[in-house]
Structures are given as C-alpha cells and as structure tokens.
Structure 1
C-alpha cells in the first residue's frame, strides 16, 4: 500500500492513540457485561446505517428506520430501502467474518447487498469499477478529486488487502485502519457506495482483528456531524501529504464515539433494570411482557398483529397488553389511527437518536 510520504509524529499521536485504544477496550468490555447484548447491537447497526446513509443524502430518521416499508408514506420508501440494505449488508458482513478474514471478496459481496434495488443498482453492484469516477463537481472537468484510473483499481485494492494482514508491518491497528480508510476512499473502487463501504470497513477491520468482539463502534455519526472537517482532513492528505492531521482526526473520532457508546450501554442497562422491575407488576402477563420487550430491544416498534403472532395470543389480548404498556409509559402509539396502529418503545429509541 502506498501512503503519503510525510511521517507520522509519534510524540503528537501517542497520547491520542493511548486514549483511543483505552476507549475502544472499555467499549468492548461493555459488550461482555450487557445481558443479551446482540439485541442491542441491532439498534447500534440501525443507527450506523441511518447515519452513514444520511451522509450520502438520504433523509430517513431513526424513528422511520425501525418501521416496515408499508408503515411509511410512499415518498419515504426509497431512502428507507437504502438504510435497510445497509443494515442487511452489515449483518451479513459480520456473519461472514466468523468464517473468513476481511477481504476484497467480502467488500464486494457487501457492496452488492448495499446496492440491491436502490439508487445505484445499475452501477455494477459487487464489482470494482471499470470506468472513471470522480468526487465533487458535475464531471471530470470540475471535479474536486479524481480517483485513480480504473485500470489501477484491482492492483491498488489487492495492495490494500495485503496491508490489512501483513504482520511484518509494525503499525498499531488503529493507525492501520485510519490509513486504510483514507486509502479506500482515495481509490474509490466502486462506481457508487464508496463512502458507506469505506465507513463500514472500519468496523469490519476492528472486529476482524479482535479489537471488538461485537460490532459496537461506528464512526458515521461523528463524520456526519463534522462532515466538513472529515472531507477536509482527507483532502489535506491528497493535496499536501498531511497524513498526521487525518490520523489525529480519526483517533479523536474513536475517542468520542467510544465514550458515547459506553454512555449508551450504561443507559441501556439502567432502562432495562427499570423495565424488568415494572414487568413484575403485570402478574400473569409478565412472561408475555418479557418476550415482547426482548423483541422491542431489537426493533422498538410493534403492531398488535405482530404482538399477537409473537406471543401466540388473540389480537384482542395483544391489544389490551399494548394499551396497558402505553398507560404505564413504556410505549407510545405513533400513528393516531384506529386500525394498523404502531406502538413505539420511545424511551429506548431516544437512546439512539441524535
């Protein structure tokens, strides 16, 4: 992998690297102590899919991202489809890492899922580009940046894959993935979807290298909130070889995001303890509430029909239970309809809202 020639200043980066590594380790520790952590990881994934897609221009909000397509107005379904594709792409990529190392083959497969049936579906999903692309502007003549010629992409991506797994290169893993993200975005190997795949690459790398046991760190919210600084940091490497500035930005993103992730897990634990105590008051229906709550931790929206199917009870019994949960302040009905009502576990959703 070819990286900018300006050396990293170890004296400047050591403190940031130490803080980022410690924050990441503490975040990872939470995934070991939180019961049923995989339930909550799904909401982390949904938030990442929503934030990463918003950087690319989608307008879906978190309360919409957890709904089903038929529960949204038709004009919102295209953006929603991109977010749900990203959720599926993340989940399948993480599952693949259980049996395969991080690779270009995995990135291509993930890209194919990301682009299926949405904008960009005709731009060779799952394949590296075989034509020139550009970043910014309306075309090559006024582009802000022109990535390498498509004939160079296979070799550059092969070189990047070797960099991920070359144990003879003594580079800390967080520095290595910072460099890899920059390199991926500079190569821009796909015709579309490079931003989303490049940001997902960060989490896949950390899981593959064992720095995270669960996919709990996602930087898209930080990148979106600091979008101008994010693009500026990447541009400074390309224009003036200032790799140190980019790495500092990246490590600060890890530090802040790890801290916010720990806070979210702490709030999840507190909320779950409160909900578990409240569940006891439901007497004979407590077991059904527990089953329903587990489902809501994974996706915090439910209808009476879904609750009835999940619990194996009548629609009337499910509706009565949901009504009780609304009166107890657990759920809110969000449609205002008499039929096809949707109940949201709003206090949980708020933990993942910006």
Structure 2
C-alpha cells in the first residue's frame, strides 16, 4: 500500500450518529515522498545516539526515572491535569488537597510505565499488555469506573457532548477486537518490509483511531510508542517519550491525526511523527550529556565533605531519582538519624546542591534545582 493511495476507512451509520471504521494496517507500506526517507534516516541516527548514552551512562536507571516522571507529567498535561514537574516528584502529603487528584493521575502513569517495562521481559507487546497497563493507569482516579483494563464494549467519542455532535467518533465497539488483533499482528509481522519507526507511526495513528478503551487512550497510545521501541530492541532503556513534542505542537498533532482519517494523508502524519522522534531523541541525548557533566561537578563537591562524603554520595543517588525531598525522607531512605540527615542536607545547601523551596521554618522541602532544570527545558 502506497501512502499516496491510502484510503483510511469508511463512516458507518449507527443509530443517530456515524462512526469511523479504519482499514486494517497489517500489510506492506511504501511511499514516494523522498522527504520521508531523509527524516527516517535522521530519526534513526538520533535514536541510536540516544540509545548509546543509555548503554554507557553509569547507574542509568537513576536518570531514566526522571525521563519517566517527565513523560508522565507531560502526557497527563495533554489530557488536562495541572500537576507541575516538581510536584509530580513529591510525596502525597506535600501536595495540596485540591491538587491530589491530578497528582494521583501522574503517579499512576509513572507506575503504569514501570509496570509495562517490567512486563515486557516476559510478555510480548500485545493487547493483553496494554490492558494490564491501562488497569494501573486508571486505578483510583477519574475514569476508574470506565472499564479499567478492558477493551470497551460501548461507544466513545472525542469532543462534543456525545457521538451526535462529536469531533470524531471511533469505530463501533463490535469492530474493536478485530482491529486490535490486526494491529497486534502488525507489530510482530516479520514478513513485511516496513521500518520500525514508520511501523510505530502508523500504529500510533491506528491505536488512537480505534480508541479501544473508554478512557485513557491518549496516554496509553503515547506510551505504546516507547513500549514498541523497547520491545523491538531499538532502545535498551525507556528513554524516548514524545509527549513533550506532542504537547508543544498539540494543534498540529491532532490535525495530523485527523487529516489521515478525513483525507488519507498518511504522508503528512509520518513526516510529523519522524520529525518528533528526531527532535526528541536529540534532546534526550543532550540531556544525558548535561547530566554527565553535572554529575562530575557535583560528585567532586561532595567529596569535599570528608567523613560525610560517603553519606553525601548516597544522598546524591537518592536525588538523581527524587530531586525534591524532605529531611524526613532523607533520614528514612539513607537510614540516618534525624539530626544526621538534617546536618547532611544543610551541607548540601552550603555547597549549592539543594535549595529550600517553602521558606518555612518547619516542614521544609528541598530541591536539587540544577538537576531538575535539565528536565524542564
């Protein structure tokens, strides 16, 4: 199937609305647009450079957790949550009560990513895996009563108050199982010659068009990109997340998806997607370089603490994973007495490694600000 000849599907009349039935995607794909080839080369090179850093950076999992936290925050923001990045890294008791619902959604997303990556070690990328991930995502938050972990058996829609005035109505629930089965085959079909980055671009479009869950499709669909790359060996670690790119180009993202459904413009969507991969991978590579430079600098400063340097290095490891902490959290995580933890945090303040955020005399919160800023750019 050539992109230029692609016919996306048909609109089917239901009771008082029309739903969109996309065509199946598990087949060969080709294109005439040479720009796709250039973008594919750029995206593949940038992804390879990012992956190389994830293989050579010591204790890389510490820093991957920050990538995951950033993705969870940005992907949830696309869906309307208002949790800031530093808040996403705090414990629940530090979050204002009126913000805790949004905070739980972000934390669920972090749990969903970590659970899915772990499950990939024993379970192939599949509808079953996505259902398990969806159950974690929707646990105890808005949407928890909308069939968490299950493929939908009712009609959903995007925009509007119902399918009658919606901006887009996905396929009827009776079609979802076949469409997801076809998509799953496409992920693993070794008989067709479709590059992985093009395959996941098509897959993301198809997943968002099927909208197989009652809620949470955007977040699961964006996570699908990373799961695909990890499951097929393009990434050794889950270090690439496109929500930052999609959030900064939100209107273009939705327009590009809709253009495929309305006019079959798969070329434009794939070009947009590959641009996002190239830019995001390059940005992730640069962040790793900055992390390595910062790590060299701060560890040299911590060695100046003399007899406290061993505890200081342990605190640094904690801060790489959780750059917003309280003295109590430091005490518990490092198994230090409260006075010892307080003194260590004070030394980190003196070295310019921690900054107190609240201005309070009690219940103080400290941020590893220079590190946190690397993931806020």
**Which bin holds the TM-score, normalised by the shorter protein?**
over 0.9
Of 16, 32, 39, which aligns to 2:62? 39
The Cα offsets for residues 76-133 of structure 1, whole Å up to 9 and x where unpaired, read as 1100000000000000000011111101000000000000000000100000110001
Instruction: Give the conservation status (yes or no) of the 8 Å contact 2:49–2:285.
Output: yes
Instruction: Give the conservation status (yes or no) of the 8 Å contact 1:5–1:241.
Output: no
Instruction: Give the conservation status (yes or no) of the 8 Å contact 1:16–1:251.
Output: yes
The Cα offsets for residues 133-173 of structure 1, whole Å up to 9 and x where unpaired, read as 11111111111111000011111101100110010011000
What's the offset of the Cα at 1:10? 4.7
What's the offset of the Cα at 1:308? 1.8
Aligned to 2:24: 2
Secondary structure of 1:281's aligned partner: helix
Q: Quick one: distance in 2 between partners of 1:246 and 1:8?
A: 13
What's the offset of the Cα at 1:310? 2.7
Of 91, 105, 122, which aligns to 1:82? 105
Aligned to 1:237: 260
What's the offset of the Cα at 1:321? 1.3
Aligned to 2:370: 347
TM-score when normalising by structure 2: 0.92
Q: Quick one: distance in 2 between partners of 1:148 and 1:6?
A: 23
The structure in which a higher percent of residues are helix is 1
Instruction: Give the conservation status (yes or no) of the 8 Å contact 1:8–1:243.
Output: no
**1:186 has 2:209 as partner:** yes
Q: Quick one: distance in 1 between partners of 2:117 and 2:166?
A: 34
Secondary structure of 1:140's aligned partner: coil
Q: Quick one: distance in 2 between partners of 1:7 and 1:37?
A: 37
Aligned to 1:28: 51
Q: How does 1:150-189 map to 2 (within 5 A)?
A: 150-189=173-212
Q: How does 1:286-297 map to 2 (within 5 A)?
A: 286-297=309-320
Secondary structure of 1:142's aligned partner: coil
Aligned to 2:228: 205
Which one is further off, 52-61 or 4-13? 4-13
Structure 1 residues 6 and 159, CA gap change in structure 2 (3 angstroms): closer
What's the offset of the Cα at 1:336? 1.9
Q: Quick one: distance in 2 between partners of 1:282 and 1:227?
A: 47
Q: How does 1:217-228 map to 2 (within 5 A)?
A: 217-228=240-251
Tell me, which stretches of 5 or more residues in structure 1 are unaligned?
none
Q: Quick one: distance in 2 between partners of 1:312 and 1:144?
A: 54
Instruction: Give the conservation status (yes or no) of the 8 Å contact 2:155–2:173.
Output: yes
Aligned to 1:301: 324
Q: How many residues align?
A: 354
**1:262 has 2:285 as partner:** yes
Q: How does 1:138-153 map to 2 (within 5 A)?
A: 138-153=161-176
Tell me, which stretches of 5 or more residues in structure 2 are unaligned?
1-22
The Cα offsets for residues 210-261 of structure 1, whole Å up to 9 and x where unpaired, read as 0000000000000000000000000100000000000000000001001100
